[in-house]
């Protein structure tokens, strides 16, 4: 089968590799329909973080089930599914608490191979999310919406949930990438009355408005802080969604949050921020890996199927699997908000 392989920083190739097989009773073999490139994939693509050379890549997809292990009862061959990157087992303490992103029974190496024709998916019985009908029953735009539920839309919702966004809140969103834009959707779903998007790019600001942002702050640095404080009459935001994965962004979030607010964050900063600003304003900081299966089942799949949200609009360029290098380049050069990869029809 064909699969995208990490050759070295800046270089992704499609190789012929062995088709995966069932290794455990809890496995499923999936035939990938659509996949995509994540902003976190750029860490190792750019050489910022380590990844084994020759490893399979990708961690977001929608697929059909081809084969299941003997312990998999809730999905069957032929089912159309969302393949979350989280692989929750459904029965450990973390999963039961609603934090399947922190599942205590995840297997190492589970997040690789989604950018390929077939995938061995672990913890398949609980983690996979069934989609009604078949891929052919959905429009191109609907398929894109469904694909975001494997990661980016769930992550956007998670940052809003982590910040405890509630009805009537004023929310500030730092970051206008795919996660930040989905964070706008997440805040709106949770009832935010006002959503301030800190965006420096016209096309992304336009999409943020379409997703539910009420205000755009194009300024940077101290000027951005000043503008947000002006928009909130000096009080600051009730909740701040930090979607940049930088210490400076968390520190900026502390400056624009009102006393007692909570900052949700889903990026992975290289170091923890200094706590003094947060301490003196009684500001909380929480976040981490999204609970993809939990959010999809409780909120997001229904919202997509009803046409209430359209997060698939974050895919601004599309590529065939054979053109995977171009898909990464488009993300790396900021020519695409998020690159869509068509694997099969």
Cross-strand pairs, 8: 11
The tens digit of pLDDT for each residue in 56-95 reads 999 999 999 999 999 999 999 999 999 999 999 999 999 9
Q: Is residue 162's pLDDT more than 70?
A: yes
Token duo for residue 144: 């894109």
The tens digit of pLDDT for each residue in 33-48 reads 999 999 999 999 999 8
Q: DSSP letters along 24-64, please?
A: STT-EEEEEEEEE--TTHHHHHTTSS---TT-B----EEEE
For 100, other C-beta atoms within 10 Å of its C-beta total: 29
Q: What is the pLDDT of residue 248?
A: 86
DSSP 192: -
Q: What is the mean pLDDT of residues 215-228?
A: 96
Q: Is residue 270's pLDDT more than 60?
A: no
Q: What is the pLDDT of residue 1?
A: 96
The tens digit of pLDDT for each residue in 277-335 reads 788 899 999 999 999 999 999 999 999 999 999 999 999 999 999 999 999 999 999 99
The CA distances from residue 113 to 46, 50, 162, in Å, are 19, 17, 29
Task: Sketch out the chain's domains with CATH numbers.
Answer: 2-151+291-342 (3.90.180.10), 156-287 (3.40.50.720)
Q: Is residue 272's pLDDT more than 70?
A: no
Q: Is residue 211's pLDDT more than 60?
A: yes
The CA distances from residue 122 to 157, 236, 296, 333, in Å, are 24, 43, 18, 33
Q: What is the pLDDT of residue 35?
A: 98
Q: pTM for the whole thing?
A: 0.95
The tens digit of pLDDT for each residue in 114-150 reads 999 999 999 999 999 999 999 999 999 999 999 999 9
The tens digit of pLDDT for each residue in 224-260 reads 999 999 999 999 999 999 998 778 888 899 999 999 9
> In whole angstroms, what is the distance from residue 298 CA to residue 294 CA?
6
């Amino acid at each position: 089968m064909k699969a995208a392989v990490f050759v070295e920083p800046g270089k992704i190739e499609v190789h012929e590799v062995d088709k995966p097989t069932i290794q455990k009773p809890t496995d499923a073999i999936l035939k990938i329909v659509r996949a995509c490139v994540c902003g976190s994939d750029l860490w190792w693509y750019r050489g910022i973080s380590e990844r084994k050379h020759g490893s399979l890549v990708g961690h977001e997809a929608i697929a059909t089930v081809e084969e299941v292990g003997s312990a998999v009862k809730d999905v069957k061959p032929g089912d159309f599914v969302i393949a979350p990157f989280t692989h929750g087992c459904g029965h450990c303490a973390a999963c039961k608490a609603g934090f399947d992103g922190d599942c205590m029974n995840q297997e190492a190496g589970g997040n690789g191979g989604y950018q390929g024709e077939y995938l061995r998916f672990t913890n398949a019985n609980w983690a996979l999310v069934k989609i009604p009908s078949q891929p052919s029953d959905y429009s191109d735009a609907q398929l894109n919406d469904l694909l975001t539920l494997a990661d980016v839309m769930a992550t956007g919702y998670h940052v809003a949930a982590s910040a405890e966004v509630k009805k009537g809140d004023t929310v500030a969103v730092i970051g206008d990438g795919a996660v930040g834009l989905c964070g706008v959707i997440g805040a709106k779903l949770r009832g935010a009355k006002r959503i301030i998007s800190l965006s420096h790019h016209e096309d992304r600001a336009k999409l943020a408005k379409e997703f539910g942002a009420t205000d755009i702050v194009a300024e940077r640095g101290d000027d951005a802080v000043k503008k947000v404080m002006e928009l909130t009459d000096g009080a600051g935001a009730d909740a701040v969604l930090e979607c940049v994965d930088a210490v400076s962004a968390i520190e900026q979030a502390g400056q624009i949050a009102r006393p007692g607010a909570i900052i949700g964050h889903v990026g992975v900063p290289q170091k923890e921020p200094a706590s003094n600003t947060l301490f003196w304003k009684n500001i909380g900081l929480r976040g981490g890996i999204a609970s993809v299966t939990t959010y999809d089942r409780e909120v997001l799949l229904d919202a997509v199927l009803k046409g209430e949200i359209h997060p698939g609009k974050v895919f601004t360029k599309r590529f065939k699997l054979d053109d995977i290098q171009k898909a990464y380049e488009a993300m790396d050069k900021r020519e695409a908000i998020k690159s869509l990869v068509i694997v099969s029809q």
